[in-house]
Amino acid sequence: MATEGIVNGLRRAGVIGEGDPVFEPLAGGVSCDVWKVDTPGGPVVVKQALGRLRVEADWEAPVERSENEVRWLQRARSINIHLAPEVLAEFRSEHAFVMRFLENCPVWKDELIAGRVDRGFAAAVGRSIASVHAATANSAIDRSAFPTDSMFRALRVAPFILYVARTNLDLASNLRAIADDLVSRKIALVHGDVSPKNILISPDGPVFLDAECAVYGDPAFDLAFCITHLLLKAVWLGDARMQLAATDFIDGYRDAITWEEAAGLLQRAGRLAAALLLARVEGKSPAPYLTDPAHKAIVREQARARLMSECPIDMLVAHWERSAK
């Protein structure tokens, strides 16, 4: 159940009346509590950040990331109103906010798992996230609006890259160099969690959720993060269409790059994807669906190989093996 502070905040914002609202829990992942609430104005979603994430490893995270997410959602909507849900109210003392619930918009992850792989939609996801990068590239205003480097380190760099470096000593210098390069680049506004589970399929195109990790940094991270999930699912499901979708995502993204040479960005994304793939089997937040030791071995072997011999992300996808040789 949501806190009294959230309920009172919903009343003050005019979202609900005086009656007792019913909070229906939704899947909130590892980092937050999420509820659906029916209101006179239609259903809404209430999201509250957790101080300790729901993972096996000890992982605490700053609850102020809720404010960060609201800023990203609002900035994305200023670029294209269809890119993110409308935020109706924010309750900073509760580290929570409320946004409009989007009806009849399936989660991309659920569609992929069900075998409904729409390659055109994958390309649209690439174009859409690139549009945010293009609109915010080299922007002093956007950079000052997201002073969240320490939060990004705590939520992404430390648990996904540096944590793995401690147990892969032969790759430690490579991984630390990737981490240092990632945090040094201040190029555009990065979502930080572009995953199929955080993308809705709407009639107007992709809708992005869960921007808690947003930072002004290297856009290659968003590209690498999503491709990582598609390649993991290619192994898990043994489905070649996941790789085709990954290729379409990259093609859609590449066509929208306006702020730098594509070759350099794709090379950085390839390095990051290799690190993230290894993190998804050995990091603090392993992919929950990848439980088969054989599948983990397939991912681990290829990720380690690509960390020792780097390649652009489109080449990584093209040569990705879904099963053991």
CA dist 68 and 31 (Å) reads: 14
Mean pLDDT of the chain: 90
Q: What percent of the chain has pLDDT over 70?
A: 92
Name the DSSP letter for residue 127.
Answer: H
Q: Label residue 303 by pLDDT band (50, 70, 90).
A: very high
Residue ranges with strand state E in the chain: 23-26, 32-37, 44-49, 87-91, 96-100, 188-190, 199-202, 205-208, 215-217
Q: How far from the centroid of its chain's Cα atoms is residue 191's Cα? A: 6
Give me 265's structure tokens: 């960005």
Residue 312 has pLDDT above 50, yes or no: yes
Name the DSSP letter for residue 154.
Answer: I
Q: What is the pLDDT of residue 63?
A: 60
Reported CATH class of domain 108-318: alpha beta
Q: Do residues 249 and 120 lie in contact, with contact meaning Cβ atoms separated by under 8 Å?
A: no
Question: If phi over 0 gives left and psi between -120 and 50 gives alpha, with beta otherwise, what is residue 88?
Answer: alpha
Q: What is the pLDDT of residue 121?
A: 98
| Predicted model pTM | 0.91
Express each pLDDT in 99-147 by its tens digit.
898 989 999 999 999 999 999 999 999 999 999 999 999 999 999 999 9
Residue ranges with strand state E in 195-290: 199-202, 205-208, 215-217
Residue 249 has pLDDT above 70, yes or no: yes
Residue 208 has pLDDT above 60, yes or no: yes
CA dist 213 and 190 (Å) reads: 8
Q: What is the pLDDT of residue 112?
A: 96
CA dist 246 and 252 (Å) reads: 10
CA dist 213 and 191 (Å) reads: 6
Beta-bridged to residue 111, according to DSSP, are: none
Give me 35's structure tokens: 């509820």
CA dist 215 and 189 (Å) reads: 6
Coil, strand or helix at 284: coil
User: In degrees, to the nearest 5, what angle opens at C-alpha 79 toward C-alphas 75 and 85?
Assistant: 60
Q: What is the pLDDT of residue 38?
A: 84
Q: Do residues 157 and 213 lie in contact, with contact meaning Cβ atoms separated by under 8 Å?
A: no
Residue 76 has pLDDT above 50, yes or no: yes
Q: CATH for 4-100, among 3.40.640.10, 3.20.20.140, 3.50.50.60, 3.30.200.20?
A: 3.30.200.20
The residue with greater pLDDT, 53 or 243, is 243
CA dist 271 and 70 (Å) reads: 29
- From the number of C-beta atoms within 10 Å of its C-beta (0-12, 13-18, 19+), residue 197 rates as middle
Q: Do residues 211 and 150 lie in contact, with contact meaning Cβ atoms separated by under 8 Å?
A: no
Residue 3 has pLDDT above 70, yes or no: no
Q: What average pLDDT does the segment 273-286 reach? A: 93
Q: What is the pLDDT of residue 7?
A: 74
User: Which residues, including other chains, have CB under 8 Å from residue 297's CB and lie 6 or more apart?
Assistant: 324
Segments making up each domain of the chain, as ranges: 4-100, 108-318
> Which of 233, 234, 210 is CA-nearest to residue 222?
210
Q: What is the bridge-based pairing of β-strands 96-100 and 44-49?
A: antiparallel
